[in-house]
Amino acid sequence: MERKKFAFEQRIKNDIEETEITKLTKEEERKDVEEQAKLAQMKKQKSIEGIKAKTSRVNSEWKAKTEALINSIDADTDLKYNEIIAEARIIET
């Protein structure tokens, strides 16, 4: 009888230890998953920031090219206008 009681108590003790070990293992697994998710999120955020930087650079380049083209067209237009005015004055005289 004493032996059965000891065996029963030992099984209860073993079950409690096993439950605690399982609980700790699950907590560690959850922490690992959280860390992996945070790492993946940081990588994606870094990628997004890189894309934003590239987009901003491309936008700036296109804006500069557009402004240069507009200035070139304006200069050509002014030149042509002045040529026409000069020819008109020559014709008038």
pTM attached to this predicted model: 0.58
Task: Work out the average pLDDT over 60-72.
Answer: 98
The number of folded domains in the chain is: 1
pLDDT tens digits, one per residue of 45-59? 999 999 999 999 999
SS3 per residue for 11-73:
HHHHHHHHHHHHHHHHHHHHHHHHHHHHHHHHHHHHHHHHHHHHHHHHHHHHHHHHHHHHHHH
Residue 85 scores a pLDDT above 90? yes
Domain hosting 59: range is: 1-93
Using CA atoms, how far residue 93 sits from 53, 87, 88, 89, 90, in Å, is: 60, 10, 9, 6, 5
